[in-house]
Structure 1
Amino acid sequence: MAIVPLVFVLMRLYVRVYMKRIFGWDDLIIIVATACLVAYAAVCHVASTIGLGRHVTVVAENPNNLIDVAMLCDIGEALAIMACTLGKTSFAVTLLRIVVRRWMIIVLWFVIVTMNLVNVLAALFIFVQCKDPRHLWNSAIPSKCWPPDVFTNFCLFVGAYSGAQDFVLALLPWTIVWNLQMKKKEIGIAFAMSLGVFAGAASIVKTTFLVALSKKADFTWELVPLLYWAAVEDGLAITAAALSTLKPLLARVFPGSTINNNYNMISYPSAPKRKVFDNSQGETRTEIGHGSVHETESQTKILESQSPNRDETINMTTEVLVTYNRTS
């Protein structure tokens, strides 16, 4: 769940930087999210080598290992939270470059702000729930702490809210393309942009394991399912955000497929090539070059149908030169 998203993000960066020659905030955010996910995997791996995944009675045979596992779990939880929220934020920022309706923009900004707010608070609360944070992984250090249920209940709320935002971000692309003039095979764009629904499903499963946060008696064993599903949610969220931008790469790998005919909701159409047509009698010669017409049935319609202002539409320019050669 760390390597697969990393591969997809690298392919996304290849498309964005090498093929498209562009780099936006959503690209930077997804890089940071992937770095957090890889760091989370590394922390969990180190913790597993010294006792994570075993019962606490076994790990306690070396008290230092027990302290280190507890500290690494807290660090890993914070990294997992940030990887999750940044991966979803990257996808939301990508959608902001596509949508033009005001209510969609408001919804996306609401999702971005509230999702980051609650998740950043959750990451901070891991370390501030005790006056002396060292008490969290070393109970021998005295400190005054919150009641255990306070942090657990807040994490349950964050998990449920995060899962709800996954479904919002997954369904929003359908509101963009639902009423557009599209071929059935081109509905695949909406499916590709809606893969975050699987991250939402993983978030629901992860939330059911959040009660383990309050179980300190055997935390080295009880936390494992939660850590697993946190990685699954993070990996799916980042993969979904990266996959939605890979159409140009797939079109290059499969040049003869129907991928090239799909709508591209971000890039502008290129200028048509110059063509010459002759009739069979040799009496009429039609030369097509450049000119200016408004295209109403092409893929530019995907943006026009969403725009309340016609100045925001895209026009395709074509020049037509017709030459008649009359023979006697």
Structure 2
Amino acid sequence: MDDDDRGPNMLATTWALTGLSGVFLAVRLACKLRTKRRLWWDDYVLTLSWVMLLVSIVLVTMSVPRGLGRHVKHVPIENLSTLGFMGNFTGTFSILAAVWSKTSFALTLLRLMSGRVRIVLWAIIATINISMGLNAVFMWTRCSPASKVWNPYSPGTCWEPHVYPAYGMFAAGYSGIMDFVLALLPWKVIWKLQMKRKEKVGVALAMSMGVFAGATAIVKTTVIPTLASPDYTCRGAAESAVTIIAASIPVLRTLFRDLQTLSRRQYGTGRHGTHTGSKDPVDMEMSRGRRGKRPSRKVGKGGEKGVASLSLFT
């Protein structure tokens, strides 16, 4: 129905996603601080990404009472320019949240990789920031004067209607593809560790949750031509939120491991009635290295850093 108000449902969805991703981020940071590890650039960039997501959702919340989520013909005409102006800011902050969340995970991988893979990672960081950054810039500059972007009744000229949505689809699609690439790269280094295959798969899967962010980004491209639609807003928030959650899950292995250890201390005993303990497989690999058989920092020409780097996630 044209007179449906989808604003309340949109707010419920976007705030739920923002809150859930905020919880994952907070636990990620708490796990690092609890183990007395210093925060690094990936933590700061991911936090900034969540702040951008929060700001965009606050703007959406302010826009709903003015008519966002309703068919344009049911929005008071005096609110159209305000909604357009606020929508541009919402889109800009949403783009920054998405691209910086991906940048954060790429920075994390930089600490694990070496050789040519690092060049690939830097190329991904540069290209997604440029492509998505241009998307945000074009949002403001596609009309002359710029005020015509949010006030279509003012005099001026704009790009052909299909140009900006076409570039937006390209940028979002490229960003989604890079999510899949970033999700697959960890398998290359993890598969070389001296761990049980089951443990390798578990660690690799934890670091590959970005495939869901990539799927969300690809799906979002289908609604880019209707930038003001509630679907675009919800899927834009979903992309950033899922990426933040995916980037936080590997670090949460610390929490899961500690909970497992606590459970075994309370309920588990060894064959002789004593606590058997639980050792994380990555920690075991690092212990072997500290006992004298320290793993090489590189594996072959252009290889990856040794397992000591995986202390990032333990």
Q: Deviations over 1:81-111 (max 9, x none)?
A: 11011000000000000112x1211110110
Q: Report the CA distance shift for 1:247/1:313 in structure 2 as closer, same or farther (over 3 A).
A: closer
Q: Distance in 2 between matches of 1:309 and 1:155?
A: 35
**Equivalent of 1:5 in 3, 16, 21:** 21
After TM superposition, give the deviation of residue 309 of structure 1 in Å. 9.4
Contact 2:172–2:218 (Cα < 8 Å) also in 1:
yes
**Corresponding residue SS for 1:80:** helix
The alignment's C-alpha RMSD in Å is 2.7
Q: Which residue of 2 aligns with 1:109?
A: 122
Q: Which residue of 1 aligns with 2:254?
A: 248
Q: Distance in 2 between matches of 1:141 and 1:151?
A: 19
Write out the 4+ residue segments of structure 1 that deviate beyond 3 Å after TM superposition.
256-260, 267-271, 303-310, 312-315
Q: Percent identical across equivalent pairs?
A: 34
Amino acid at match of 2:48: V
Q: Deviations over 1:52-78 (max 9, x none)?
A: 11111111xx22322222222211111
**Equivalent of 1:262 in 281, 292, 296:** 281
Contact 1:162–1:200 (Cα < 8 Å) also in 2:
yes
**Equivalent of 2:245 in 239, 250, 272:** 239
State TM-score, norm by structure 2: 0.80
Q: Which residue of 1 aligns with 2:6?
A: none
After TM superposition, give the deviation of residue 167 of structure 1 in Å. 0.3
Q: Which residue of 1 aligns with 2:292?
A: 294
Q: Distance in 1 between matches of 2:307 and 2:191?
A: 20
Q: Which residue of 1 aligns with 2:299?
A: 306
**Equivalent of 1:207 in 202, 215, 221:** 221
1:152-301 maps to which residues of 2 (within 5 A)? 152-186=165-199, 187-213=201-227, 219=228, 223-255=229-261, 256=263, 260-263=279-282, 269=287, 294-295=292-293, 301=295
Q: Distance in 2 between matches of 1:108 and 1:234?
A: 19
Q: Distance in 1 between matches of 2:307 and 2:204?
A: 21
After TM superposition, give the deviation of residue 152 of structure 1 in Å. 1.1
Q: Which residue of 1 aligns with 2:68?
A: 52
**Corresponding residue SS for 1:20:** coil
Q: Distance in 1 between matches of 2:93 and 2:232?
A: 14
After TM superposition, give the deviation of residue 17 of structure 1 in Å. 2.7
After TM superposition, give the deviation of residue 259 of structure 1 in Å. 7.3
Of structures 1 and 2, the larger Rg is shown by 1
Q: By percentage of residues, which structure has more strand?
A: 1
Amino acid at match of 1:261: D
Q: Distance in 1 between matches of 2:121 and 2:137?
A: 24
Contact 1:166–1:196 (Cα < 8 Å) also in 2:
yes
Gaps of 5+ in 2: 1-16, 265-276, 309-314
Contact 1:177–1:190 (Cα < 8 Å) also in 2:
yes
Amino acid at match of 1:189: V
Q: Distance in 2 between matches of 1:293 and 1:263?
A: 15
Q: Which residue of 2 aligns with 1:325?
A: none
Gaps of 5+ in 1: 214-218, 272-291, 316-328
Amino acid at match of 2:64: S
State TM-score, norm by structure 1: 0.77
Q: Report the CA distance shift for 1:54/1:133 in structure 2 as closer, same or farther (over 3 A).
A: same
Contact 1:160–1:203 (Cα < 8 Å) also in 2:
yes
The alignment status of 1:99 with 2:113, answered yes or no, reads yes
Q: Report the CA distance shift for 1:147/1:313 in structure 2 as closer, same or farther (over 3 A).
A: closer
